[in-house]
Amino acid sequence: MNTAYPPLNALRAFEAAARRLSFTKAAEDLDVTPGAISQQVKILEDFVGQPLFRRLGRAVELTDSARASMPLLREAFERIDDAVRQMRLPLRRERVSVSAAPSFASKWLVPRIDRFQAANPDVQVWVAADMNLVDFAYADVDLAVRYGPGFYEGVTSEMLMGEEVLPVCSPTLLEGAKPLRTPQDLAGHTLLHDVSPDNDPSCPDWSMWLTARGVQRADGNQGLRFNQSAMVIDAAASGRGVALAKRAIAAADLQSGRLVAPFSGEGDKVGFAYWLVRPKGRTMTPALKAFLDWIKSEATGDDWVI
């Protein structure tokens, strides 16, 4: 590109003077003399070929063209700040940083991570469990797993796997004074509710699930409520009641036998899914490629489907 750009110091001096409408206050902001601000503004005015300020004695005001340029100039400085922030990120050759919701991280990702480490001993995996959506412009994160409808703007997204919900409980509830045999038996048990912020509007709650199966004696509104899916799973595994759980979140506990599906292995599919989300334009390292191949293989394998 052969486009000529004005000196950055001249732009900084102009932005400060235009924002403060004072060369003296701009000088204080930039820790220089008022004369230095005046000199840099003059350089910029010579570059653009016209005045940018009207001098009104000790006061100044912007010309129309200078005023119109200010939003663009502020945006440009913000983009420069973003670029410098990216430059300061540490080099990451053999490291993969993954962001995921706490329940997915603890119940699905972490129980499997040893398999990736065994196959890739030279790659460090950093897992950041956070309910907030990662901002790739600021966070030192390679990959995020999001639970939602997909098709996120400004990033590259790929569906990892779908989701469904099904009742799960401790094996101890299959026996005893009120054994679970059919959905009708839920009337004698505490219902555990997942009210986590990442819940899918299409996901049935207990009232909907019971109504769909013609269960009338059980109250779908009674029971305990938890704001994280992992807490629902742990409460069910400890025998506190029966959870209507996301299968992916319950998979490790179902496989280990801490949980069982008392009625059927088939669940009700929901509209949300788990998505692999990456920033556009960032180079994919061999470590990240290996991790993506591994996590997709885990999701398509049958070991998590009970």
Q: How far is CA 113 from the centre of its chain?
A: 19
On the CB side of 9, CA atoms within 13 Å amount to: 11
Backbone angles phi, psi at 145, to 5 degrees: -110, 115
Pairing of strands 191-194, 143-148: unpaired
Q: How far apart are CA 156 and CA 277, in angstroms?
A: 6
What is the full per-residue pLDDT of the chain (306 aa) written as tens digits?
446 888 999 999 999 999 999 999 999 999 999 999 999 999 999 999 999 999 887 788 999 999 999 999 999 998 888 888 777 766 555 889 999 999 999 999 999 999 999 999 989 999 988 877 777 777 788 899 999 888 888 888 999 999 999 999 999 999 878 899 999 999 989 999 998 876 677 788 999 999 998 998 889 999 999 988 899 999 999 999 999 999 999 999 999 999 999 987 678 898 999 999 998 878 888 999 999 999 999 998 755 443
Q: How many residues does the chain have?
A: 306
Residues 128/144, Cβ–Cβ less than 8 Å: no
Q: How far apart are CA 252 and CA 298, in angstroms?
A: 12
- Dihedral of CA atoms 7, 8, 10, 13 in degrees, nearest 10, equals 180
Residue with token string 């400085």: 77
DSSP line for 107-158: IIIGGGHHHHHHH-TT-EEEEEE-SSPP-TTTS--SEEEEEES---TTEEEE
Segment (H or E) for 174: none
> pTM of the prediction?
0.66
Burial class (CB in 10 A: 0-12, 13-18, 19+), 300: exposed
Residue with token string 């005001």: 61
Q: How far apart are CA 218 and CA 188, in angstroms?
A: 8
